[in-house]
Structure 1
């Protein structure tokens, strides 16, 4: 009886060890396959999303260029001589441009988006501030142009953020 038990163990033990080794090797193989597929999907998603992200950065760069006060004043002429009317026209233009591009924030980094919003708000506030000391729409234009000959528009900071982000994406 003891011999039969030893004989059974002699057959069962190698079969069990072989089964355990086969199980772990098969499990490791499946995990490697899953990892490779995940990496392929990530690479494919990155490849497909890069053009969309680049387009978002392009649009936001264009937004910054369009709300650059110097360029905006040259593009948007006053309809009347009233300072408040012209100020409202400029602010409405900025807000319209912003709302048109609002969805792009999902493709941008948080810091870049915050810099764009900060630039928009700073320009709006500066226009309001300069308008307080202006008596006509043409004087507002002149005062804003004079103000931005002394300092760079805040849009330049946002443009720098955009350019840095694009460089990171393309690396």
Structure 2
């Protein structure tokens, strides 16, 4: 029994084709099965994580509301503080509240979290800019100037709140 190369090819080519097709079918099946398991796991977790996500959205909404200049200035009165002490107190209040809520970022999209962080940073930057100006010399004057500065347009926290609201609507 002497098999020639042609006879060997005739015997092995169909076997290779069948093997390749079987491999493709099995790998496609396994990939679909893995995707199905991931989908089902996510679907079963959604009812459990939705209340936690909603609580996170509520907490960050509260943070953004409290960071609005009118709210911040009503809660944080200058008392007997100097201008620079009052400026630092306002910034510290924002930073502390943000840090208190920082773990909530795991429930937000990266884009939403970046919008929230940008709102915080912009608010702090505006407070610092007003504090560096020569228009105010006392904490009360600084307070009034901050109110005037933020009255020119919507607070950055408003923009962030709108973004958070849109993201919450996408959950439903």
User: Is TM more than 0.5 here?
Assistant: yes
Alignment of structure 1 residues 26-105 onto 2, 5 Å: 39-105=39-105
Is 1:80–1:86's contact at 8 Å kept on the other side of the alignment?
Answer: no
2:156 is equivalent to residue 158 of structure 1:
no
What residue number does 1:113 align with? 113
**Structure 2, unaligned stretches of length 5 or more?**
1-25
**Ranges of 4+ aligned residues in structure 1 off by more than 4 Å:** 30-39
Q: Give a deviation string over 1:5-50, Cα, whole Å, max 9, x none.
A: xxxxxxxxxxxxxxxxxxxxxx9xx979987765443211111111
The total of aligned residue pairs comes to: 142
**Structure 1, unaligned stretches of length 5 or more?**
1-26
TM-score, structure 2 normalization = 0.75
CA RMSD of aligned residues (A): 2.0
Query: CA separation in 2, counterparts of 1:75 and 1:124?
Result: 16
Is 1:94–1:120's contact at 8 Å kept on the other side of the alignment?
Answer: yes
2:148 is equivalent to residue 146 of structure 1:
yes
Q: Given the superposition, is the C-alpha separation of residues 41 and 83 from structure 1 closer, same or farther in structure 2, using an over 3 Å criterion?
A: same
- Which residue, out of 117, 137, 140, partners 2:139? 137
Query: CA separation in 2, counterparts of 1:123 and 1:139?
Result: 18
Q: Give a deviation string over 1:31-75, Cα, whole Å, max 9, x none.
A: 799877654432111111111111111111111011111210011
TM-score, structure 1 normalization = 0.76
